[in-house]
Each structure stands twice: as structure tokens, then as C-alpha cells.
Structure 1
């Protein structure tokens, strides 16, 4: 699958960044452009069924790891550093475990390899209840979405998935495939092997996604994992505390 991506900088090593569920490469634009490109060639990727990448009925971590393997080969990147947030963190973990020869370092933002309860069911149902083509403005879609999603920041994030073409709005992500594969998206990452290279897990202190109790499972798969906590950040750790997150990543790349 030929994934859409945005490239920043021209320094080694290559750094591939993977967004979370219902996100896209643009979520990482500011950090990639202003910070990461100074030490790496950054490839911010749209994962399958998200952003401007192709749609497919399959949405498993094995399939998404294969997409990243193919991306590395297609662009002749050799070995790379992977950075993934949330769902993208699980894709990064699966890629490192399945294709350790392609990954030098791994960075996971606020995600553990465990299975998670379905946090996003109501959001997915709210999105599915709206036909964007029935509206003539972004503000009208926002108003309709507000009935089920009262949080303005969450709506702003979701509305980044709107595309406007030929006078018509549509959801850019493959909402049908995401809903059909939601159980697989929440599934645990498992493997009969370990990733024995430098690994950094970064969690938000106000997030409950990565608990101290998850450390044994993390180190069972990633023996060299280091866990850092940014106290004043939530699940969107890189957006809540971009400077602190960037320092951790840049120090890890330079180590």
C-alpha cells in the first residue's frame, strides 16, 4: 500500500511518525517542521484508512506493520527510528517486533501493548450519524456534531477529517473500515520475539493509558524500554507538552 506522507528535513537517521486513531500526518506538522527535522529526515505518514492514504477493508496491526515495512523498502530508508502515538504506537510496536532488522530505535507515546476497552465507540457513532455531503459549511457540520460531542477541542480534532471536493464535504478517513475493525484496533500486541534495541515510552501524567502495572508487559516485549512521564500532559502528550516531549525525543535520538 502506497501511504501518503509529508517529509521534513534532510538529516539522518530517518524518523517515521505514526499518528493515532482518527488522526493524520498533519497532527505532527509543527514538531516535525520546527524540531525533529533538525536531527532527522522526518516522514510523517498517514496510516491506511486515514488521511490521504488508501482505504482497505483490513485494519489490523499486522497489516499496518506490513505497510510500514513496504514504505521503508519503497523509499530505500534502510533502518529507521519509529515514533508512534496511541494507535500509531501499537503499529510502531508491531513493526519493531515483526521487522526488527528495519528498526534501530522505537518511541511510543502514551500507549502500552495491552488490550484497551472501547474508548471511542460514542465518537465513531457520532461521526457515522452525520453525512457531511448534506451540509454546506464546516460550521454547520460542527454544530450537528456538537449534539453528541460537546467538547470543542475534540470536535476540532475530528473535523480535521473533513475533505471538501467539487463543492461537497466528505469524511476523508474510511469510517466504515475503522468501525468494522475497532475490536482489532483495541487488541493487544503479542509476539513470540522481543525487540532488543533502544526503546522509549513516554506517558502523560494525567493519562491512564500507561500504568505502572503495565511495565512488566512492556519490558517483556521491549527489554530495553525506558518509561518517562510528563506530569502535566494527558493522552495527547505531544500536543499538551510539546517542548517537554520534543526534548525527550531529541535526547533519545542523540543518545
Structure 2
């Protein structure tokens, strides 16, 4: 079930963010699903703690039901995140600390290691589905279980990761901000900035979904995406 909410009126410009160090481009790990064509693809980008396998089932489902898009960035879908800073509402610092404290002895099978890590995370990360998502980052390297995400780097640059750069030119195309009704990452206080930067945006919430919308309510997520995308 989708719940659609109206956007508010624009607000004044935000103060500039602190100066950042030079940005260096790096190759991105990615996976391609389907056959390349002559039209631009539908690009799915995961978030923090994610990897290119997170949207694999979503991608395969959309490939079966959606054609290519006629123009580059013809339209945009933002899943449970707004164009504002989310540092203060995020529980990720607590999750990072919990992940760092996980202790798994060598020699365990993968399933046993995941069960042990799940148990150790449960006091902080109480949502079982969220724990399973975090556990996709647990990998075995030379007999030891480690987190494949760089927790120290994420922790050190957390404020930058969860902030949003200042843009003055809006994106004129259709946009959908698709949130989970149980998640705090899109709220009414974000509507003015969404409208300022995305004047043709619509905000919808999937009832009963948390931050990982596609995992919590898969069919509803797919239906919302297909409804927003143009017909092939």
C-alpha cells in the first residue's frame, strides 16, 4: 500500500558545507543484468553498507518487465533518502560500533559465523532483516571472518557521507522519493528542499516498510517503481 504526501513550499538556501578535500575517481564494482542495448540503462545505486548484489533480484525483476529509457537520466527514483543531511537521525554510528565489536573465532563454517555475528549484533541492531542486510558484508578471508566494508573509513567520514552537497540548479525531470512508512529518512521537514531541487518530484511511502524498502516490501516496491517508470 502506497501513501502519497504533498510537498511544501521552497525555503531559502542553506549555508555552504565545510570545505572538502580533493575528490579522486575510483573504479566502481558493479554488475550488469540483461542485454546491453542502444538505449541508456536503468541504473541502481546502493547505499552505505551496501554492495552491488543488494539490488540483484530487483534488477532481474525489472529487466523482465521494463524496457530501456529514451534519454540519459530521464527520471530519478530516490529510495528512502532525502537531499538533506541525515547525520542526526541515523543509527549507523551505533551499528558501526556493534559491527566492530563482533568477535568470531577462526575455523567456523560460514553459517555458524553468521549466526554468531547475528547474535552479537542483536542487542544493538534489533531489526532481524536489518541485521541480515549488515551480515551480507561478513566475508571469510584466509580463514578469518572480517567485514568487507571499511568501517574505520565510514566512521571517520560519516558526517560527509550523511550530508548532502549544496546545489542551486534544480533537476527538472520527473522524480520519485519512495520511502518506508516506518523509516525516519524522509519526513515533512524535507519537503521544501525536495521541491526546491526536484520541482517535479512526488513523495510516496510504502506502508510497513523500514529503511530497506525493497527488502521489507518487495512486491510493493517493484509495483511503485514500475508505476513511475514510463511504459516500454
TM-score bracket, shorter-length normalisation: 0.7 to 0.9
Q: Normalising by the residue count of structure 1, what TM-score does the alignment of the two structures yield?
A: 0.68
Query: Which entry has the higher C-alpha Rg, 1 or 2?
Result: 2
Q: 1:223 aligns with which of 199, 202, 210?
A: 199
Query: Is this contact kept in 2: 1:9–1:38, CA < 8 A?
Result: no
Deviation at 1:37, TM superposition (A): 4.7
4+ runs of 1 displaced by more than 6 Å?
Answer: none
Q: Deviation digits for residues 61-107 of structure 1, max 9, x if unmatched?
A: xxxxxxxxxxxxxxxx9964xxxxxxxxxxxxxxxxxxxxxx22211
Match of 2:107 in 1: 136
Query: Is this contact kept in 2: 1:113–1:190, CA < 8 A?
Result: no
* Structure with greater strand percent: 1
Q: How large is the Cα RMSD of the aligned pairs?
A: 2.5
Contiguous gaps of at least 5 residues in structure 1: 42-76, 81-102
Partner SS state of residue 170, structure 1: strand
Q: Deviation digits for residues 135-185 of structure 1, max 9, x if unmatched?
A: 433133334334544543332221110121332222111111111111112
Match of 1:26 in 2: 53
Match of 1:201 in 2: 177
Query: Is this contact kept in 2: 1:13–1:39, CA < 8 A?
Result: no
Match of 1:170 in 2: 146
Query: Is this contact kept in 1: 2:80–2:180, CA < 8 A?
Result: yes
Match of 1:111 in 2: 81
Query: Is this contact kept in 2: 1:36–1:250, CA < 8 A?
Result: no
Q: Deviation digits for residues 184-230 of structure 1, max 9, x if unmatched?
A: 12213421211111111112222222122321110101111111222
Cα 1:142–1:202 change in 2 (3 A) is closer
Q: Normalising by the residue count of structure 2, what TM-score does the alignment of the two structures yield?
A: 0.75
Q: 1:236 and 2:226 equivalent?
A: no
Q: 1:214 and 2:198 equivalent?
A: no
Cα 1:218–1:147 change in 2 (3 A) is closer
Q: 1:2 aligns with which of 10, 19, 27?
A: 27
Give the paired residue count. 197
Contiguous gaps of at least 5 residues in structure 2: 1-25
Q: 1:17 and 2:17 equivalent?
A: no
Q: Deviation digits for residues 19-45 of structure 1, max 9, x if unmatched?
A: 12112122212111123453257xxxx
